[in-house]
Structure formats: C-alpha cells, structure tokens
Structure 1
Amino acid sequence: MTTGDVVVLHDPQTLGLAPAVKAAGARVVWHCHIGAEVAPERGPGAVWRAFAAELAAVDAVVTTMPGFAPPRTRALFVVPPAVDPAATKNRELTGDEVAAVLAGIGLTTGRAGAGVTVRQDRPLPAGARVVLQVSRWDPLKDMPGVVRCVVGLPKDVHVVLAGTEPAEIPDDPEGLAVLAEVTSVLNGLPDEDRARVHLVNISLRDPERNALVVNALQRRADVVLQKSLEEGFGLTVTEAMVKGRPVVASDVGGLRLQVTHGHNGLLVDPADLAGVRTALIRLLDDPALCRELGRRARTGALERYTMRRFAADYLKVLHRAP
C-alpha cells in the first residue's frame, strides 16, 4: 500500500481496518451493502456510535440508498448493486434445461439430488403455477409469511421457498431457527395446502450448481415474490427482472428503488397478508399483465442494474473521493 492508493472496505466486518489504512496514507472508501429504514436509535445509530473512531478515518461512503449512510459522511456515493446477465445465475436457459435442473434436484421427481435438499410432501406437478421466493433464511425475509400465503391461493398454485443451506453460513446464526419456524408453520397447514409448498435448501459447496438451480427456479416461476420486512436492495428481485419475470415485492428499502407499482411489478405492504395474496392472484390470473410487467422489468433492469453501470459508478467514486 502506498500514499494515494484507494482502499475499499466492505460492510461493518472490515470497518475496523479504516484507521490503519488511513495512517498508511491511502484514501479509505467504505462500501456498506446493508441498510434498513428504521429510526436511527434502533440499530443503525448504535452501529454509528460504536464505530465512530473508524468512521472518522473514512474518506467516502458508498451505499445503496442515501438513508443507509452514517450521519455527517464526508462524501457519499449512492451505487446500487448490479448483476451479470451472462453469469450462470442469469444466462438464458431453454425449457428443457430448466426441466432437467429441477428434475435433478428432485423438485419435480421426488428423487434426492446432490447438493440440494428438497422438503415436500409430493413433487411439483408439471402443470402447476408457481410462486417463488428466493432468500436467505433470515427473519427479515419473512419466509414463514410466504408459507402462509399459500392458504387462499388457487388450488393449482404451488409456493416454492428456496434458500442457501443455513448450516453452511456461520455468520448467519438465525438461519437454522428461521428454517425451523418455517417448518413449524408448514406442518400446521391443512394437508392439501401443505402439499403445495416446497422448501429448497441449496448447498454453497458448488457455487456454479447453486447459481444454476436459482436460475432454473426463477425461470420456472410464474410470479416471483419478495416479502421482506426490510431490504437493503434485493438482488433476487433484480435477477428475476432480468429474466423477465413478473414480481410482487414489499414496499420497503431497495425494493421500491427497483419496482414501480403497476409499471414493472407490484408493491405490497408485507404485513398485509391478504393484500399480498390479492397481488399474487392478480398476476397469476392475468397472463397478459404478467408478460407486460415482465417485459418492462427486464428492459429496466438491463438499463439500470448491470455490471457495466456498476463499474462506471465505481470509477466516479475512485476519481471523486476526497
């Protein structure tokens, strides 16, 4: 490291390095990828106070939304995340490829697949309409609430919840508890509703396979749901939009950055379960609306959330940071 270098630190885990990096003569940029729209004293404020000395050494801050930044930031750059449309998670798949991936993990066949655990009473039927949420097993993603959505949906609609195997994420200790809560809610459903819910746990040990499974699930979905209670950005929604899928998303945080209600998706109050169901049914029962929202979603996502735009934004950060 030499004087004049720019060092980018990511998220709170690395913030403790800021004073040492600054003392070595480098400019320090802190990129905070997380955030929540809550009262300052309820969490973010405590973090800013705890890291006051480290934040004082930061020359510039990068966040997804202005409200996610610490107060009195010297220089703030708003840089939303991005996806790579050509990556394994987003590249085009044929219908046969999607079917083969989903059969291989056992979702449509009931046979166990390597690296993926599917919990279901019966395999997903070929003609079923599918509502999908892809998330970490995190309390703020409200996966138990997604399970509850199945009650009252048309009888041919199945709900798929997919997430990373929580035992493989050591810095996310709540994952196993959330998955247990989801399982408890699922077990309490009437038999006919429980049979329409499918839980998919995907191992991190093979990142390429993980990405391919998510891609196939999103392309199989008729509607992609993101029922988050808070959301820093929500890349799973971006990924679905790149694929031209219609989305129903909570009207919170970075989700409302991406989704304009009625234009490229629908926004809902995540606490209003009946309202979420109504939005899902509206899309499921209107294929023409799904196609139009999906088309606009893809066009907008490719314009606003690709790596080319992200790289251009970062060049501005590097050139303009104090």
Structure 2
Amino acid sequence: MKQVTVPTLRVEAYAPLAGEAVVERIRALARPLVGLRVAHVNATAYGGGVVELLFPLVGLLNGVGIPTDWWVMEGTDAFFRVTKTAHNGLQGADVVIDGPMQETYREVNVANSRFDWDAYDVVVIHDPQPAALASLVEHRRGRWIWRCHIDLSRPNPGVWSWIRPYLTAYDGAIFSLAPYVQPDLSLPLVAIIPPSIDPLSEKNRDLDPAEVEAIVRRFGMDPRRPLVAQVSRFDPWKDPLGVVDAYRLVKREMPEVQLLLVGSMATDDPEGWTFYDRTLRHAGEDPDLFILANLHGINHREVNAFQRAADVIIQKSLREGFGLTVTEGLWKGRPVVGGNAGGIPIQVLDGQNGFLVESVEQCADRTQWLLQNPAERARMGGEGREHVRRHFLVTRDLEDHLQLLARLMAAPAAVEARTGLFVAN
C-alpha cells in the first residue's frame, strides 16, 4: 500500500465559520483520545468524494492529537473493473460478480492485507474495494470499521450476498444515511455520519470575483451570459446525458444559456473515460456546451471558480451516496437542482435552497425558473450556504468521528444499539 501525505490542520482556523462553541466541543472530545493511532484505507488518492473527505478529516485528526495515517491500496486494472462492477451492483445495477471476478477481488485484497496493522488502534476501511481486508487479517489488535459511501438502499441481491460475509468481520460500520443500513448486516456498532466539505480548502475558499471571471473566460465561457454547471464524475449514475437533454430544453426558451459539465477521472474508476467519450458524443457540436476534465488543466481552484460563476448548479443523479458537489454548490451560495436520490434530499430542501427533480423535463423547468428569477435565486443561494454551515462542514464530521472513536474504544466487542450520530433538520 502507498501512504498519502496530508498536512496537519488546526481546528481553531475553522472557528470563524463553524463557531467557537463547535471548536470547544471538538477539543473536549479529542482530549481523552490523544495518542490513539488511526489508519484510513481507500482505493485512490485522486478524484471522487472519498478523497475530498479524507484530506481535511485526516489533517484535523492529526491536529487534535490523534495520529492518523491514510493508506491507498494497490490493485490491478482487472481488480478495479471488478470493484466498479461491484459499486454499480451495490447501487442496484443488474450485474454479476462471477467466480473469476471474485477470485481477482480476493487476490488483490490478500496482497494488501500483508501490512503492519498492529501499528493502529483503529482501522477505517472505505467502500467495497478494500472491504475484504478485515476478514483476512488474523489476530488483529485494533478495532476495524467499514465506511460505506455509496447508496446501498436498493442493492443487487447477488452482489450484496457476495460482499456481506466480508463485512461481518468488522467491529462496526459507518453509513451516510440510515436507509443504507441493510437489515441483514449485524454488527456491534453502526453509525450514521453524512459527509462534509472543508470550507478552507482550495476548492471551497472564497475567490476574488475578478479571478473567477478570468478563469471562466480562459475556458471559453462568457461570464455575461447565464451559466448552468454540473460537477461530478462522468458516470451513468450522475446522468450527464440527462443534464445535456435538460439544457437543450432550457435553450429553446433561453438561447443565451451555457452548460458546463466538469469532472475528474479517479484512478479507481475504469469506466470514467468511456462515459466521458459517450457524453461528448451525446453533446455533439455546440459552442455553448463545455465538457472539461482534469486533462484540460482543471484543478480545485478552477472547479471553485466554475461553481461560483454558475447561476444554477445541477446534480441530476439517479443514485447518489451523498453528493459532495451539491454541498460545494450550496456553500458557494448557488441554488441546486438535484435528483431526488440518496443524500441529495437532506441537502437540497425542495423550494428552499433549490429543487428536487425526477425527470429531464422537471430538471429543465426548475433550472429555467431559477435563471428567470434572480431575486429568488439569490435568496435560495443564501439559505443553501447557511444549511451547509450548520450541518455539512468538516468540523461536524470531525465531531461525529470523535464521538464514534470514543464509543468504539470504550465498548466491549458487542456494544448495544445501532445509533445515528446526526440527523439533518
């Protein structure tokens, strides 16, 4: 496995945004846990929501005195094709993990299991790729937690029955939403912890309006005309093709509108480039439709600028574990038109800070309404930022994790109830 270097972050720096009371609670929660050694393990150091979560969380855990490392498992192309299929199946796709695929999955996990796990008191394993590790490490000293970031509300039964035995080896699990907890997964501890964003990161910190305009112009967009944007992986569950169709409906009534689709290609997502090419073909030749990826020099600062330049953010997901790009858009004061799926409804409060939609036609209708009603658009954007400030900043995420660590270390192997740590209101 390969270690990811993460700079240490000071929780005090977040006080102006999260509040002094939050910082004091975090200090108090961390005090009894100082010196506890934690490892996080996932499948990539670049691209996707898990990476966005781990950088600030690991940095802040180190900052409050809990030594925390981040490791990335190594795998083959064949392995990542299997795990992408597993990811799709766990979100309900009609796929099969056959015998050879199961063997490929196990072989890579066996290779990654040869590691000094006893150096850590708590090991947190993220998503399906390294999920087998807990079952492969004998006589482990620490406590192990599986962190599921995907929409597990309606899994493919065959894929779920294949991976579930691996999960029973864990001391607990974390899910983003309560409906993702499967009734036949019996673990000592289950926590509900929605993801969060780092408001001080390059992707989310304030930018000078002049810089925002310069970046938008550099990539060919006109800052004087309406801009609609979706920022996400190029993935069928994110429905970029549906976003293009909705844009075309809006453009019939508002010829001046522009659409931007932008995403990064994660190293653990072999389908990304295939669906990127499919999106390009679906878009065709349209000078007002921009499709960008990291190969175009898109980094966090550019994404930040695009989200701030957009009049409306779309996240038309068909399945969505949580949707951090929704959080990012709301934080920047932009209303979001989001698919009524997964974690989007606890972020997008329909009619208050954006709209929830079920179809291309609804997406087009709500987007057009927002573009044509600038006062309501501004009001909704302000409500969205406040909703994120109260519920979805990394300080809340850190607080929830510290509570979980305390419960995990204090309880015997069989702890009592499944308890959610957070409920949005």
TM-score when normalising by structure 2: 0.64
- Return the match for 1:295 from 351, 370, 382: 382
Distance in 1, matches of 2:406 and 2:350, equals 35
> Is it true that 1:12 corresponds to 2:128 in the alignment?
yes
> Is it true that 1:73 corresponds to 2:186 in the alignment?
yes
Q: Which residue of 1 aligns with 2:331?
A: 242
Q: Which residue of 1 aligns with 2:235?
A: 138
User: Which aligned runs of 4 or more in structure 1 are off by greater than 4 angstroms?
Assistant: 1-4
Q: Give the drift of 1:66.
A: 1.6
> Is it true that 1:61 corresponds to 2:173 in the alignment?
yes
Q: Give the drift of 1:21.
A: 4.5
* 1:152 maps to amino acid: L
Distance in 1, matches of 2:178 and 2:293, equals 34
* 2:294 maps to amino acid: I
> Is it true that 1:107 corresponds to 2:207 in the alignment?
no
Matches within 5 A, 1:1-322: 1-2=117-118, 5-21=121-137, 23-38=139-154, 40=155, 42=156, 45-70=157-182, 71-74=184-187, 75-103=189-217, 106-108=218-220, 124-153=221-250, 154-164=254-264, 166=265, 169-187=266-284, 194-203=286-295, 210-269=299-358, 272-321=359-408, 322=415
Deviation per CA, 1:217-270: give whole Å up to 9, x if none: 00000000001111110000100111111111011110011111011111110x
Q: Which residue of 1 aligns with 2:89?
A: none
Q: Which residue of 2 aligns with 1:114?
A: none
- Identity of matched residues, %: 35
Q: Give the drift of 1:36.
A: 4.0
SS in 2 for 1:276: helix
Distance in 1, matches of 2:256 and 2:119, equals 63
Deviation per CA, 1:109-147: give whole Å up to 9, x if none: xxxxxxxxxxxxxxx223110000001010111111111
* 1:289 maps to amino acid: E
SS in 2 for 1:259: coil
Q: Give the drift of 1:304.
A: 0.4
Q: Give the drift of 1:59.
A: 1.1
* 1:100 maps to amino acid: A
- Kindly indicate whether the alpha-carbon contact (under 8 Å) linking 1:9 and 1:29 is maintained by their aligned counterparts in 2: yes
CA shift in 2, pair 1:4/1:247, >3 Å: closer
SS in 2 for 1:162: strand
* 2:292 maps to amino acid: V
What is the number of equivalent residue pairs in this alignment?
288
Q: Bigger shift: 87-96 or 4-13?
A: 4-13
CA shift in 2, pair 1:26/1:291, >3 Å: same
SS in 1 for 2:132: helix
Q: Bigger shift: 135-144 or 67-76?
A: 67-76
Distance in 1, matches of 2:144 and 2:405, equals 10
Structure 1, unmatched stretches of 5+, are 109-123
SS in 2 for 1:12: coil
Q: Give the drift of 1:4.
A: 8.9
Distance in 2, matches of 1:31 and 1:305, equals 17
- Kindly indicate whether the alpha-carbon contact (under 8 Å) linking 2:223 and 2:309 is maintained by their aligned counterparts in 1: no
Q: Give the drift of 1:317.
A: 1.2
SS in 1 for 2:248: coil
Deviation per CA, 1:84-116: give whole Å up to 9, x if none: 11110001011111122233xx323xxxxxxxx
Distance in 1, matches of 2:163 and 2:144, equals 15
Distance in 1, matches of 2:392 and 2:255, equals 36
* 1:55 maps to amino acid: L
SS in 1 for 2:384: helix
Distance in 2, matches of 1:197 and 1:266, equals 23
Q: Give the drift of 1:23.
A: 2.4
Q: Which residue of 1 aligns with 2:50?
A: none
TM-score when normalising by structure 1: 0.84
Structure 2, unmatched stretches of 5+, are 1-116, 409-414, 416-425
* 1:210 maps to amino acid: N
SS in 2 for 1:236: helix
Deviation per CA, 1:64-97: give whole Å up to 9, x if none: 0122234333221000111111110001011111
